[in-house]
Copies of this chain bind each other. A is one copy, B any other.
Amino acid sequence: MVVSRDGVLRGDADVAAVAALMGEAARASVLVALAGGRALAASTLAAEAGVAPSTLSGHLARLVDGGLVTVEASGRHRYFRLAGPEVAEAVEALARLAPSRPVRSLRQASHAEAVRRARTCYDHLAGRLGVAVLDALVASGTLRAEPDPTGGADPILGAGRARRYLLTDTGRAHLDRLGMSLECAGRRPLTRYCLDWSEQRPHLAGALGAALLDRFVARGWVIRGERRVVRVSEAGRAGLVRDLGVDPAAVA
């Protein structure tokens, strides 16, 4: 309906150009990773796509040039984002007619649910559980959410969202009482956030995030499974709710 030949509506050279831009594995990977409105750094995207940073840099330049993606420089990072909802719609339209739609087996579906529920992200917790833990730490005053000091919008979380999380004195004492203090953070930042892709909200990373996962595992609160999935034990359910104030729904 929209398209037709004869010069009546639109030529087709454009369609081929846009499709060609999407029709390469690394670039498609970028667009898919960016679908949902996330902004991600070039290095992250390169790891996702499984190509060298230099290669992906070229791809990103072409995507930006083609108007599918926008860039925002922030320090020495450059955050890439889909240029608009139309781009996401096009990606989804293509995904809908992807060949060999992998028959989502029951087993795969339940694995997917497990991943969303609780998993590791590098060395810290992620998924609904990871997000709930950060929420609980903020709610209990252990961490204090600090708005962006520069006043600018955070490229990942958007304007008005916390840009860093500070460990309070009472919070440090609290963790000490629980036997969860950190020996030495070394050069690593104590707290960092990491945007959870399945929850679209931040979870706790950094040295504290790693320490917490470490303790949880040591106490048998969470058990590592395969493919980064973790399972919460009965003791973990009780302990997380009692000692950290985690939302019971997140460990159910």
Render A111-132 as a binary contact track against B, CB cut-off 8 A, 1 for contact: 1100110000000000000000
User: Cβ of A73 < 8 Å from any Cβ of B?
Assistant: no
Q: In the bound complex, do residue B28 and residue A12 qualify as a contact, i.e. CB atoms below 8 Å apart? A: yes
Q: Which residues of B lie under 8 Å from residue A32 when comparing CB positions?
A: 3-5, 12, 15
User: Cβ of A183 < 8 Å from any Cβ of B?
Assistant: no
Q: In the bound complex, do residue B99 and residue A90 qualify as a contact, i.e. CB atoms below 8 Å apart? A: no
Instruction: Tell me the number of copies of this protein.
Output: 2
Q: Which residues of B lie under 8 Å from residue A97 when comparing CB positions?
A: 18, 67-68, 83-84, 86-87, 90
User: Cβ of A95 < 8 Å from any Cβ of B?
Assistant: yes
Q: In the bound complex, do residue B10 and residue A95 qualify as a contact, i.e. CB atoms below 8 Å apart? A: yes
Nearest-neighbour CB distance to chain B for A129, whole angstroms, equals 16
Nearest-neighbour CB distance to chain B for A73, whole angstroms, equals 23
Q: Which residues of B lie under 8 Å from residue A152 when comparing CB positions?
A: none
With both beta carbons as reference points, the residue of chain B lying nearest to A36 in the complex is identified as: B1
Once the chains are docked, how many angstroms separate the CA of A89 from the CA of B95? Answer: 12
Q: In the bound complex, do residue A15 and residue B28 qualify as a contact, i.e. CB atoms below 8 Å apart? A: yes
Taking a contact as CB atoms closer than 8 A, the residue among B2, B19, B21 that contacts A35 in the complex is B2
Q: Which residues of B lie under 8 Å from residue A52 when comparing CB positions?
A: none
With both beta carbons as reference points, the residue of chain B lying nearest to A8 in the complex is identified as: B112
Once the chains are docked, how many angstroms separate the CA of A48 from the CA of B6? Answer: 9
Render A1-45 as a binary contact track against B, CB cut-off 8 A, 1 for contact: 111111111111111111111111101110111011000000000
Which residues 112-166 in A have Cβ within 8 Å of B in the complex?
112, 115-116
Given A36-B4, A92-B2, is A20 in contact with B23 using a C-beta cutoff of 8 Å? yes
Given A5-B197, A99-B67, is A24 in contact with B15 using a C-beta cutoff of 8 Å? no
Once the chains are docked, how many angstroms separate the CA of A86 from the CA of B94? Answer: 9
Q: Which residues of B lie under 8 Å from residue A168 when comparing CB positions?
A: none
Once the chains are docked, how many angstroms separate the CA of A72 from the CA of B102? Answer: 27
Nearest-neighbour CB distance to chain B for A83, whole angstroms, equals 8
User: Cβ of A93 < 8 Å from any Cβ of B?
Assistant: yes
Q: List 18 A-B contacts (CB under 8 A).
A: A2-B95, A3-B92, A5-B29, A10-B95, A10-B102, A12-B28, A12-B31, A12-B33, A13-B28, A14-B98, A15-B98, A17-B23, A18-B94, A18-B97, A22-B23, A23-B23, A68-B97, A90-B90
